[in-house]
Structure 1
Amino acid sequence: MSSSSAGAPRPRALTDASSPWRSLKYRSMRWWSVAHLVSNTGTWMQLTVQNLLVLQITGSAAATGLSMSVQAAPGLLMGLAGGTFVDRWPRKLTAAVSQALLGVVALVTAFLVVTDRLDLPALMALAAVTGLVATVDGPACSLLGNDLVRAEDVPSAIGVGSLVHSAGRLAGAALAGVTVGLLGTASAYAANALSFLFVAAVIPFLRPQRHTEPAALDRASKDAPDMSARQGLLFFARRPRLVALAGITGISAVFGRNYALTLAVLVTGPLAGGAGSFGTVSTVLAAGGIVGAVLAARLRKPSVRLVGLLAATGGLLQVVAGLAPSLAVLLVLVLPMAVVESVSDTAGTTVLQTDPPPHLRGRVLGVWSTVSTLWGLAGPPVLGLLMQHAGARGALVAGGLLIAATVGAGHLLRGRWAPAPVPVAEDRPAVLVTAA
């Protein structure tokens, strides 16, 4: 019996080829979605109180920023190594172990908070360990989720994952306030630890639709693919569509998606609004993200061209938003901006996770982790300098025009640059899994 199998007929919403929910027809995907809802709720409970905890311990805003940088640093320095590890070892085992380790780190943090032993060196060490484990956990869990559905249903799986992330964020922020108020800060870390351990307990029972054992485990085979980190880096660098995707996503991330910064300054500055007004804008952004995730889950075969078109559209919407004369006009524009961003994210993630051959996907995601961490760290300072010189409106307009112009120029130049393809060994035939 397959994981999507028999018994009562599935509702049409799960079987329709264009349904955004079609990935949920697989039993394992339903369990995976529940597990990730629990995990995301726990994660956002912790994130909601984490900066406050650092401030309480150190009394320093600089220390808060440093702890975030320490946690992000492994993604920048070790992303490719983490992706290589994912390609070398069975995915279910890797994901289960990494989730369990993250749970242990959260549990240790909770214990240190309760016993009043958490100081700055311990905090930085725990942040570094969390970031290091995340370099393996991120690609392992992403690719495992895709393994639970057939290839044509991967966009739906990613879209459902985006919805789960949004729901977990809302639930986690709400529960954090209640739980911390009743039980203290350590309770958020303890809840997050339990959520990770729950995911680790669910993973062994998942049944991938198709599964290929890591080729590195068969080192004696002459046909085993090259499992070096260098092979993943070369594949990414010589794959024009992945380079283009990185360029589009990078310029959008730096100049077009830091809405927490640009729109906050616009609302509280030129539009003369307050914290409540920006809260309304943030709510509309969240709602647009959910709508976009549902629409994106209907995609069948997203392309880099689609990602570029959406990025350019988002840039032009951003230009108009920068010129908005009132908060009401801005709210009308913010919704489609969020929808376009969400659809673009899902389309780009689908291309990134399905374009490379299976034995290279972990390393490609590792390269992506390094690149995305780099622009994630560079984006806010660059945008801050732009706003300092051009103001919030100028930054939104200039950034939107730069995104649209870059995508347009890339489209015109497409095909003129054609790097030599990377020789990639073929995978061995996939074997249908019949048991977890």
Structure 2
Amino acid sequence: MTTDARTRPFRALGIRNFRQFAAGQVVSVAGTWMMVVAQDWLVLELTGNSATALGTVTALQFTPMLLFTLHGGRLADRYDKRALLLAANLLSGLLALLLAVFVLTGTAGLTDVHVFAFCLGMVNAVEVPTRMAFVGELVPPELLPNASALSAAYFNVARVAGPAAAGLLLTVLGTGWVMSVNALSYLATVVALRRIRPGELYRTARAPGRTRVTDGLRYVRGRPDLMIPFALVAGVGLFGLNFQLTLPLLAKTVFHTDASSFGLLTTVFAAGSLTAAFLTTARTARPSARLVTVSALVFGVMEAAVGWATGYPAVVVLLFLTGGASVYFAQAANHRIQLGSDPLYRGRVLALYTLILQGSTPLGALMVGYVAEARGARSAFVVGGLASLGTGLVALCLRAGRSGPGPLDLTGDSHGACTGRTPGSRAAAADQRDPVRRDHGDPSR
């Protein structure tokens, strides 16, 4: 860790485009987390606290990630990422507004929530990998680790503020108004994206020929150093990262709390996540495979401990630690994958990361929902934690402890990782604004 990294944890915010984007994201993601709390609370009210119903809604929201994220990453590598994000945020805001109207008029049913969750998942299949890859265009290559860590930090700032505000607004105003606030929050990202200067983006030239999903998969398959973090993300994501389901069940069925106390548990979890995100802002090099594996083991222990804890104060403390461990693991895996990927394939590589991390949620939500229904919410935490721990132990057996490369090579390593170019001449800036090469073929393929 360098002295500069320790003393300047917010150095990527010195880049105007990243600063604009981060400001819009804080507001928008806070609204999204308000929506998560409101939607979960609405489902529990409509179904009499059914864990299976909540798991079904979660599965419907993440199933499109499983089906279409790789194509979303392909679009991110082929088209203008800024334009894609503008369209995705406008569509997400419209969907949230429609559901809010149904709730406010008293006509919302479980089917409406199902349709909204699936449609939002379709949009997220494009938005998530595009947003992750877009960070690499907002800053120069040497600031990418810091910008990625700050992205996790502002996400978790919103994750703290959103549920806390949602808990209060649910009590005072009701579910429909919380959803209305979320719909308006998307405008913050739209405004920020409009204010970004395309000529100051750090874009790489597009690869000649057609941009195909299979090319990205072939690229990852030829990179053994990426396979272990992908395997860890798959195991932990499937069994351990189902907190959208397990947290409301813990609050409502174990501690029998109201909406504001549910918001508190979610906020505590997010506060731990935020702490870990800020710790990773000091990272200047690609993390080692050993670090990724150990962080998965720690996360598994912490999550299982939540299920074994008996008192509310102990659960609050352990949720803080679990939140921190989950983000530290996810960031370590993300940085090892992203900082080792050629920018020409980064959209598709991050789409695969998103697919594995979030696309596994439908299966995980159904399995964990079944466990919670049969054995209680505590068992869901124990099973998720032990399964994550087992995944980490298997990774150790597969010799995941090999150390990674040293400090980040900004000129490009043998795999083309972290290469990029600074904004060039007026002609280069004009080339950067060209949203798509005309000879790439049908975008649906």
Fold-level match, TM-score > 0.5? Answer: yes
Q: Which residue pairs with 2:407 in the alignment? A: none
- Alignment partners' CA distance in 2, 1:347 and 1:433: 36
- Alignment partners' CA distance in 2, 1:274 and 1:382: 22
The Cα shift of 1:154 comes to 1.8
- Alignment partners' CA distance in 2, 1:124 and 1:319: 30
Within 5 Å, which residues of 2 pair with 1:184-195?
184-195=174-185
Do the aligned residues in 1 keep the contact of 2:149 with 2:280 (CA within 8 Å)?
Answer: yes
Q: Which residue pairs with 1:97 in the alignment? A: 87
- Alignment partners' CA distance in 2, 1:161 and 1:105: 24
User: Alpha carbons of 1:107 and 1:347: their partners in 2 closer, same or farther (altered >3 Å)?
Assistant: same
User: Alpha carbons of 1:328 and 1:172: their partners in 2 closer, same or farther (altered >3 Å)?
Assistant: closer
- Alignment partners' CA distance in 2, 1:115 and 1:159: 41
Do the aligned residues in 2 keep the contact of 1:101 with 1:133 (CA within 8 Å)?
Answer: yes
The Cα shift of 1:38 comes to 0.6
The Cα shift of 1:178 comes to 4.3
Q: Which residue pairs with 2:398 in the alignment? A: 410
Secondary structure of the 1:411 match is coil
The Cα shift of 1:370 comes to 2.6
Within 5 Å, which residues of 2 pair with 1:166-185?
166-180=156-170, 183-185=173-175
Q: Which residue pairs with 1:418 in the alignment? A: none
User: Alpha carbons of 1:256 and 1:46: their partners in 2 closer, same or farther (altered >3 Å)?
Assistant: closer
Match of 1:432 among 409, 417, 424: 424
- Alignment partners' CA distance in 1, 2:18 and 2:263: 34
Match of 2:338 among 346, 353, 367: 353
Match of 1:248 among 207, 232, 235: 232
Secondary structure of the 2:192 match is helix
- Alignment partners' CA distance in 2, 1:47 and 1:159: 23
Do the aligned residues in 2 keep the contact of 1:22 with 1:156 (CA within 8 Å)?
Answer: yes
Q: Which residue pairs with 1:9 in the alignment? A: none
- Alignment partners' CA distance in 2, 1:103 and 1:347: 31
Flag structure 2 segments of 5+ consecutive residues without an equivalent. 404-413, 434-445
Q: Which residue pairs with 1:30 in the alignment? A: 19
Within 5 Å, which residues of 2 pair with 1:55-66?
61=50, 63-66=53-56
Q: Which residue pairs with 2:203 in the alignment? A: 212
The Cα shift of 1:141 comes to 1.5
Q: Which residue pairs with 1:16 in the alignment? A: 4
Do the aligned residues in 2 keep the contact of 1:90 with 1:213 (CA within 8 Å)?
Answer: no
**Is 1:289–2:273 an aligned residue pair?**
yes
- Alignment partners' CA distance in 1, 2:100 and 2:380: 40
Flag structure 1 segments of 5+ consecutive residues without an equivalent. 1-14, 216-222, 416-421
Structure 1 stretch 135-144 or stretch 112-121: which is displaced more? 112-121
Question: In structure 2, what residue type is equivalent to 1:245?
Answer: P
The Cα shift of 1:33 comes to 1.6
Structure 1 stretch 324-333 or stretch 19-28: which is displaced more? 324-333
Match of 1:75 among 46, 65, 72: 65
Within 5 Å, which residues of 2 pair with 1:17-416?
17-18=5-6, 19-54=8-43, 61=50, 63-119=53-109, 121-180=111-170, 183-207=173-197, 210-212=201-203, 215=206, 224-257=208-241, 274=255, 285-305=269-289, 306-315=291-300, 337-380=322-365, 382=367, 395=383, 398-399=386-387, 402-411=390-399
Do the aligned residues in 2 keep the contact of 1:23 with 1:149 (CA within 8 Å)?
Answer: yes
Secondary structure of the 1:297 match is helix
Question: In structure 1, what residue type is equivalent to 2:424?
Answer: L
Secondary structure of the 1:28 match is helix
- Alignment partners' CA distance in 2, 1:261 and 1:114: 24
Question: In structure 1, what residue type is equivalent to 2:237?
Answer: A
Do the aligned residues in 2 keep the contact of 1:311 with 1:407 (CA within 8 Å)?
Answer: no
Structure 1 stretch 260-269 or stretch 129-138: which is displaced more? 260-269
Q: Which has the greater radius of gyration?
A: 1
User: Alpha carbons of 1:201 and 1:256: their partners in 2 closer, same or farther (altered >3 Å)?
Assistant: closer
User: Alpha carbons of 1:401 and 1:81: their partners in 2 closer, same or farther (altered >3 Å)?
Assistant: closer
User: Alpha carbons of 1:24 and 1:405: their partners in 2 closer, same or farther (altered >3 Å)?
Assistant: same
User: Alpha carbons of 1:195 and 1:283: their partners in 2 closer, same or farther (altered >3 Å)?
Assistant: closer
- Alignment partners' CA distance in 2, 1:48 and 1:263: 10
Question: In structure 2, what residue type is equivalent to 1:287?
Answer: A
TM-score, normalised by the number of residues in structure 1: 0.76
Do the aligned residues in 2 keep the contact of 1:311 with 1:404 (CA within 8 Å)?
Answer: yes
Do the aligned residues in 2 keep the contact of 1:152 with 1:301 (CA within 8 Å)?
Answer: no
Question: In structure 1, what residue type is equivalent to 2:68?
Answer: M
Per-residue CA distance 1:249-286 (angstroms, 9 max, x = gap): 222334555578889999999xxx94689998766544
The Cα shift of 1:358 comes to 1.7
